Amino acid sequence: MKAIIFEDEKTVRTVLKRILLKESVDVLDFDGSENPIEIIQQEKPDFILLDIGLKNADGLDILKKINSLDFRPYVVVVSGHTEHRYIIEAMKLGAYDYITKPFDIERIKNVVNEIKQSLRLKVISSIPKEEVVANSPAMKEVLKLVGRAAASKEPVLITGESGTGKEVIANLIHNFSNRSDKPFIAINMAAVPIGLVESELFGYEKGAFTGADKSKEGKFLQANGGTLFLDEIGEMPLEVQGKLLRAIQEMEIVPVGSKKPLKIDVRIVAATNKDLIKLIAEGKFREDLFYRISVFEIHLPTLKERKEDIPDLVNLFTKRALSQLGLKSGGFTQESMKFLMNYSYPGNVRELKNLVFKLITTYRDRPITPDLLPANIKGEEEKSFDWKKGFEIEVKKFLTRKRKNIYIKLIEEAEYILIKEAIKFTEGNISEAAKLLGLHRNTIARKIKELEIEIKEDEI
């Protein structure tokens, strides 16, 4: 194993070199006056100990240039800069670790041995070429139905638990249909406030209602010639269902505030995680609409019913995460994959995807070994956190500082966290969030406005 030290203080350089030699590492050391990138390209070390504050070079700039190399070694920053901005920037640029001076010799040894272990471990790197993973018998049956549905113009209903990948299948149907060169427009019915569903679907004319200062195309017109994906169709208000049925049957729509019907050519693909038959019995879903949208019905298996697909799904999500972060290496070891294979995934594919992205984002190009996996994935119980005690401490702080309106402020803060986290957890599904919190979806919508809750797309 080979390492390079870039450090302009001769004493520190000597100490670091001595530590590495005792750890059976071949070492080259430089003060930074030479061209570090040329040296790295020539020597191709396994890892680098890099000082940020070199006299003749900027360590962060060197780290940035290392990222652009085809050959990318591990980089451990050893610096006298303790300010948070240097630490954050170094880790952002892909440093394996950041050790501040004066450093603990044992800390250096531990990092070196971690890197040794990482280099020995086999990281899963085979990436499926296709964006859809379907090696399991259950998913192969799904693909057969996708092929039949793609050859037809009739509506399709995709059913399955939350997180099973219904929109992925809807996209697949569209991409293999004769409409693949036309728009694919998706709308999540659960994320649209009840009063806006009709105008979102069919559009509206200028002056149709307060605030309508100009006309707007609805999703049907945006999808004209292509496919309209109606996600969580079970959340659609009953009063709009009749108009949707007419639009599908007649292939024409009437924008809100208009009397002129517009002809359309749209393929409908709908999806739900609810039992529509049960909703029909409860008077919450139209029976005639159900039969119209379910000419083709495709049921997606849960992830625990298609465990054969987990390795390829992990690799697919790893590839995407590495690409987003600009990393050239990283992934899960075979030992970690065994734990991933044995977990039950109540959140299905979505939970697996979020787990992979979270771990790759946290540990970047470091191989994800079992010790880095969350406790629940390994079947271990998480350490309990006494949130009540924490809340009690916050209350005492407010009282000690003699803050005013303590009750209102704390309740609002609690509401803000509860609602924001519930919406993030349900990926923007207001109805599902309301169900989990035991509130009406209108209450959730009102609170979002009152508390000025903003959920960024990358948080969902």
The three-state (H, E, C) secondary structure of the chain, written as one string: CEEEEECCCHHHHHHHHHHHHHCCCEEEEECCCCCHHHHHHHHCCCEEEECCECCCCEHHHHHHHHHCCCCCCEEEEEECCCCHHHHHHHHHCCCCEEEECCCCHHHHHHHHHHHHHHHHCCECCCCCCCCCCCCCHHHHHHHHHHHHHHCCCCCEEEECCCCCCHHHHHHHHHHCCCCCCCCEEEEEHHHCCHHHHHHHHHCECCCCCCCCCCCECCHHHHCCCCEEEEECHHHCCHHHHHHHHHHHHHCEECCECCCCCEECCCEEEEEECCCHHHHHHCCCCCHHHHHHHCCEEEECCCHHHCHHHHHHHHHHHHHHHHHHHCCCCCEEEHHHHHHHHHCCCCCHHHHHHHHHHHHHHHHCCCEECHHHCCCCCCCCCCCCCCHHHHHHHHHHHHHHCCCCCHHHHHHHHHHHHHHHHHHHHCCCCHHHHHHHHCCCHHHHHHHHHHCCCCCCHHHC
Residue of 76 and 53 predicted with greater confidence: 76
pLDDT band at 195, cuts 50/70/90?
confident
Sequence length of the chain is 460
**Non-local CB neighbours of 422 within 8 Å, separated by 6+ positions:** 433, 436, 437, 444
What's domain 2-120's architecture? Answer: 3-Layer(aba) Sandwich (3.40)
The pTM for the full model equals 0.67
- Whole-angstrom Cα distance, residue 237 to residue 190? 10
pLDDT at 355: 96
| Residue 379 tokens, joined | 């079947």
Asked if 57 contacts 13 with a C-beta cutoff of 8 angstroms, the reply is no
| Residue that is written with structure tokens 């750890």 in the block | 23
pLDDT band at 149, cuts 50/70/90?
very high
> 106-110 — which CB contacts under 8 Å span 24+ positions?
108/16, 108/19, 108/78, 109/19, 109/23
pLDDT at 382: 52
Q: Do domains 2-120 and 137-300 have the same CATH topology?
A: yes
CATH of domain 307-370: 1.10.8.60
394-408 pLDDT tens trace: 888 778 777 778 888
Residue of 143 and 128 predicted with greater confidence: 143
pLDDT band at 202, cuts 50/70/90?
very high
Average pLDDT over residues 259-283: 95
410-449 pLDDT tens trace: 888 888 889 888 888 887 888 888 888 988 888 888 888 8
Is the model's pLDDT at 191 over the cut of 50? yes
Q: What angle do helix axes 430-437 and 406-425 make, rounded to 10 degrees? A: 130
Asked if 357 contacts 392 with a C-beta cutoff of 8 angstroms, the reply is no
Rounded to 5 degrees, φ, ψ at 352 are -65, -45
**Terminal alpha carbon distance of the chain:** 42
Average pLDDT over residues 117-138: 66
Average pLDDT over residues 164-193: 93
pLDDT band at 385, cuts 50/70/90?
low
pLDDT at 37: 92
- Mean pLDDT across the chain, nearest whole number? 88
pLDDT at 84: 84
Span of 19-28, 115-124, 302-311 with lowest mean pLDDT: 115-124
pLDDT at 94: 81
pLDDT band at 131, cuts 50/70/90?
low
pLDDT at 381: 59
Asked if 235 contacts 431 with a C-beta cutoff of 8 angstroms, the reply is yes
Span of 132-141, 236-245, 382-391 with lowest mean pLDDT: 382-391
pLDDT at 124: 46
- Whole-angstrom Cα distance, residue 457 to residue 460? 5
With a pLDDT cut of 70, the percent of the chain lying above it is 95
pLDDT at 82: 83
CATH of domain 387-459: 1.10.10.60
Beta strand 262-263 with 252-253: parallel, antiparallel or unpaired? Answer: antiparallel
Domain-by-domain residue ranges, the chain?
A: 2-120, 137-300, 307-370, 387-459
Average pLDDT over residues 18-42: 91
pLDDT at 70: 79
Cross-strand partners of 252: 263
pLDDT band at 28, cuts 50/70/90?
very high
75-111 pLDDT tens trace: 999 998 888 888 888 887 888 889 988 888 999 998 8
- Whole-angstrom Cα distance, residue 123 to residue 330? 7
Which CATH superfamily, name and number, covers 137-300?
A: P-loop containing nucleotide triphosphate hydrolases (3.40.50.300)
Is the model's pLDDT at 129 over the cut of 50? no
